[in-house]
């Protein structure tokens, strides 16, 4: 008996849908779902060169950087002097989100609106810069104190809440490539427990020369795979909205498998349980947004796990947003969801967003497209 079959035999409690009422994106394609849809449909090509003060320090690998990005022009000069690139992406994505159809919350709504954001370590660039300064500057290590708050992992989620007056639940989730799906899982638990009425949920990742060299030296990505950055944030709520929702989020399940030989089983477990809790048959899945398309070996693990959970076949035309935006690591799950909503393949209504990491974590989110 396979692991997927064993999980299917257990009693599974169903879930109620959560509603996505808005989306805010900052990517190499531009802002919003429309720019991402144009890129995914082959409307244009992206530059492969890095940007920023450390652009000359990158290894010889293509990147998909957010270009011509000026946070002061987007948000104003007040409060943005020491905001790093990671936090800037999160703030601008949330600004776009709150000014979209979701609408900015009023005083009463703000008290019950929170943030659940995925990252990995916060800003690698800020950490590296401050560490370099402590090693090279004269004692007593005259580092810039204005940049120190950016070294805290939850700096971005805190800045989003402060700038927008959101006084609800505030959480930062780390978990490598599965971080964004873990954030959606955390959001479901928080909303179900009544910790908030509405949450801004997503992921953010930045490019920097130190991070690019880390990817390059480890060799875990396929040769020529691009590195990316960006943010995707969604408004998620339990209450059915008056206007049509962008999507309905059904179950999100996670699994940890310590044995690398059984990583595919772990993903199959997560997918099978997520479909069961969503009341969805494997044959109903019409679209899959995969996360490991550029990772050596993990791409095959993800495909095997999906085949085991879906009865041996995959829906045609899997969504591979990393091909367009590069490897975005902790933001990948949020951008996978954004790509699915921007350019949903086929006519069916049920989609899957999946992730599997080298640490043994696997996750699956079931998405339903409104009629």
Q: How many CA atoms lie within 13 A of 251 on its CB side?
A: 17
Residue 317: per-residue pLDDT? 85
Query: Are domains 3-14+247-368 and 18-237 of this chain identical in fold?
Result: yes
Q: Domain 18-237: give its CATH architecture.
A: 3-Layer(aba) Sandwich (3.40)
Residue 99: per-residue pLDDT? 85
Q: What is the pLDDT of residues 51-90, one digit of tens each?
A: 888 889 999 899 999 998 988 888 888 877 778 889 999 9
> So where are the chain's domains?
3-14+247-368, 18-237
pTM: 0.91
Chain centroid to Cα 37, Å, comes to: 17
Residue 114: per-residue pLDDT? 96
Q: Give every residue of the chain whose pLDDT is below 70, as ranges.
A: 1-11, 43, 101-104, 122-133, 140-141, 146-148, 150
Q: What is the pLDDT of residues 198-257, one digit of tens each?
A: 999 999 999 988 889 989 999 999 998 999 999 999 999 999 999 899 999 999 999 999
- Find where tokens 């899945």 sit: 285
Host H or E run for residue 184 = helix 179-192
Residue 11: per-residue pLDDT? 61
Residue 6: per-residue pLDDT? 45
Residue 354: per-residue pLDDT? 98
Nearest partner of 334 among 185, 209, 218, judged by Cα: 185
Residue 1: per-residue pLDDT? 41
Residue 77: per-residue pLDDT? 81
CATH number of 3-14+247-368: 3.40.47.10
* Cα–Cα dist 92/313, whole Å: 39
* Cα–Cα dist 68/179, whole Å: 27
Residue 103: per-residue pLDDT? 58
Residue 294: per-residue pLDDT? 93
Let me know how many helices (H) and strands (E) the chain has, helices first: 13, 12
Q: What token pair was written down for 19?
A: 């509603």
| Residue pair 232/211 in contact by the 8 Å Cβ criterion | no
Residue 5: per-residue pLDDT? 46
């Amino acid at each position: 008996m396979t692991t997927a079959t064993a999980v299917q035999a257990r009693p599974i409690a169903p879930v109620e849908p959560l509603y996505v009422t808005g989306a805010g994106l900052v990517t190499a394609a531009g802002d919003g779902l429309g720019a991402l849809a144009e890129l995914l449909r082959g409307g244009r090509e992206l530059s492969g060169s890095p940007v920023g003060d450390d652009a000359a320090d990158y290894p010889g690998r293509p990147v998909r950087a957010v270009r011509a990005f000026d946070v002061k022009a987007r948000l104003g000069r007040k409060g943005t002097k020491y905001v790093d690139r990671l936090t800037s992406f999160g703030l601008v994505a949330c600004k776009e989100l709150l000014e979209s159809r979701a609408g900015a919350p009023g005083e009463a709504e703000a008290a019950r609106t929170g943030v659940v954001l995925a990252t990995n370590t916060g800003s690698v660039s800020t950490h590296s810069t401050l560490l370099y300064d402590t090693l090279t500057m004269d004692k007593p290590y005259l580092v810039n104190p204005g940049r120190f708050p950016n070294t805290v992992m939850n700096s971005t989620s805190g800045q989003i809440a402060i700038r927008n007056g959101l006084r609800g639940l505030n959480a930062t989730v780390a978990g490598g490539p599965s971080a964004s799906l873990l954030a959606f899982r955390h959001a479901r638990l928080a909303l179900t427990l009544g910790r908030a009425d509405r949450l801004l949920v997503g992921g953010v990742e930045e490019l920097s020369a130190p991070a690019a060299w880390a990817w390059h030296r480890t060799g875990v990505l396929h040769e020529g795979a691009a590195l990316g950055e960006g943010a995707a944030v969604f408004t998620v709520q339990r209450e059915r909205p008056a206007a049509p929702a962008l999507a309905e989020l059904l179950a999100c399940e996670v699994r940890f498998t310590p044995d690398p030989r059984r990583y595919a089983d772990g993903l199959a477990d997560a997918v099978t349980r997520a479909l069961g809790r969503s009341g969805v048959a494997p044959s109903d899945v019409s679209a899959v947004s995969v996360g490991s398309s550029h990772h050596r070996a993990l791409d095959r693990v993800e495909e095997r796990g999906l085949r085991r959970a879906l009865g041996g076949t995959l829906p045609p035309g899997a969504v591979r947003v990393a091909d367009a935006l590069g490897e975005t690591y902790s933001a990948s799950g949020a951008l996978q969801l954004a790509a699915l909503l921007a350019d949903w393949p086929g006519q069916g209504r049920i989609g899957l967003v999946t992730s599997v990491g080298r640490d043994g974590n696997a996750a699956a989110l079931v998405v339903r497209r409104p009629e």
